[in-house]
């Protein structure tokens, strides 16, 4: 059975070095919409928050922040445990992993945290262990019950001929596919629009989180589930945004 790849660090030494860098430059934080979950994040207490990009120890550390769309969708997971319990959940663009961790916390049968960035994959594994020090993390090819991590580029992957049973989408029937704050530029939004169309089925609920970045304005098949006010620190990280919406992708156009 085709599974997914873990394009991680080339060796254990690099991996260990990266993990120690994360611990050096981030703090364990609960200052977000989901204080039930601890995360290694760059906060105003960290020098990196204030540094110009060129002095940053990491390249594009999106995993070091808990983005507003992700916060909203994770809060929704925590507020709606009955939806998630015993389900199979795919978290795309997992970043810091909060949404995937929340699904695990709420009793999902199988969670797959997916992020093409191998640095994010390491960070989210660290975050999961922070909250569940004794739980196993599966990063092998085969999807298992519990917490799984992958770095497969699902967008390319999902465009393969599904009948060959080779794509991540066909690994199992996903009850939930969650995308927290993935609609952050034009290119990504266009690519995801196609993916959402391929992924949507009556058996699969697709949930999105977005702080109104504007790229979802062209979608006409979204139903708003909830609106959340963003906490102070999140607003400081995302100038101009004060709220975030949780939306569901519908099969047909919404009025």
Footprint of another protein (CB under 8 A):
42, 48-53, 56, 60-62, 65, 184-186, 188, 213-214, 235-240, 242
Name the strand (E) or helix (H) holding 177. strand 176-180
Of the pair 60, 141, the CB lying nearest another protein is at: 60
48 vs 200, beta carbon nearer another protein: 48
Strands 205-210 and 243-249: antiparallel
Distance of closest approach, residue 48 Cβ to another protein, in angstroms? 6
Minimum separation from the CB atom of position 54 to another protein (A): 10
Q: Which residue number, 53 or 251, has a Cβ lying nearer to another protein?
A: 53
Instruction: Please identify, using beta-carbon distances, which residue of 53 and 134 lies nearer to another protein.
Output: 53
What the block records as the tokens of 102 is 């929340």
Q: Judged by CB, which is closer to another protein: 107, or 214?
A: 214
Nearer to another protein, 61 or 209 (CB): 61
User: Helix or strand or coil: residue 105?
Assistant: helix
Query: Strands 39-41 and 27-29: what pairing?
Result: antiparallel
CB of 57 to another protein, least distance (A): 11
Query: Closest separation between CB of residue 216 and another protein, Å?
Result: 13
What's the rounded Cα separation, in Å, for the pair 52 and 69?
24
Beta bridge partners of 208: 179, 247
195, 155 contact by CB (below 8 A): yes
- Here the contacts of 77-82 (C-beta below 8 Å, separation 24 or greater) are 77/102, 77/103, 77/106, 77/178, 78/34, 78/36, 78/102, 78/105, 78/106, 79/226, 81/106, 81/107
CB of 209 to another protein, least distance (A): 15
Q: How far is the CB of 211 from another protein (least distance, A)?
A: 10
């Amino acid at each position: 059975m085709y599974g997914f790849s873990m394009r991680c660090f080339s060796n254990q030494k690099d991996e260990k070095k990266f993990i120690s860098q994360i611990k050096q430059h981030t703090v364990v934080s609960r200052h977000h919409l989901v204080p039930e979950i601890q995360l290694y994040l760059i906060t105003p207490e960290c020098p990196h928050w204030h540094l110009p990009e060129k002095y940053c120890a990491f390249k594009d550390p999106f995993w070091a922040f808990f983005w507003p769309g992700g916060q909203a969708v994770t809060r929704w997971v925590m507020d709606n445990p009955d939806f998630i319990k015993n389900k199979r959940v795919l978290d795309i663009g997992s970043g810091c992993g909060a949404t995937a961790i929340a699904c695990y916390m709420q009793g999902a049968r199988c969670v797959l945290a997916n992020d093409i960035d191998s640095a994010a994959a390491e960070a989210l594994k660290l975050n999961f262990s922070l909250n569940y020090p004794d739980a196993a993390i599966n990063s092998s090819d085969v999807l298992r019950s519990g917490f799984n991590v992958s770095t497969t580029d699902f967008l390319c992957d999902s465009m393969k001929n599904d009948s060959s049973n080779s794509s991540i989408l066909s690994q199992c029937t996903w009850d939930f596919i969650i995308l927290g704050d993935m609609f952050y530029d034009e290119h990504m939004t266009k690519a995801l629009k196609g993916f959402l169309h391929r992924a949507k089925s009556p058996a699969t609920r697709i949930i999105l989180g977005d702080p109104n970045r504007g790229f979802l304005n062209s979608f006409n098949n979204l139903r708003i589930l909830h609106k959340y006010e963003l906490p102070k620190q999140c607003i400081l990280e995302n100038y101009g945004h004060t709220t975030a919406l949780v939306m569901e992708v519908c099969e047909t156009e919404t009025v």
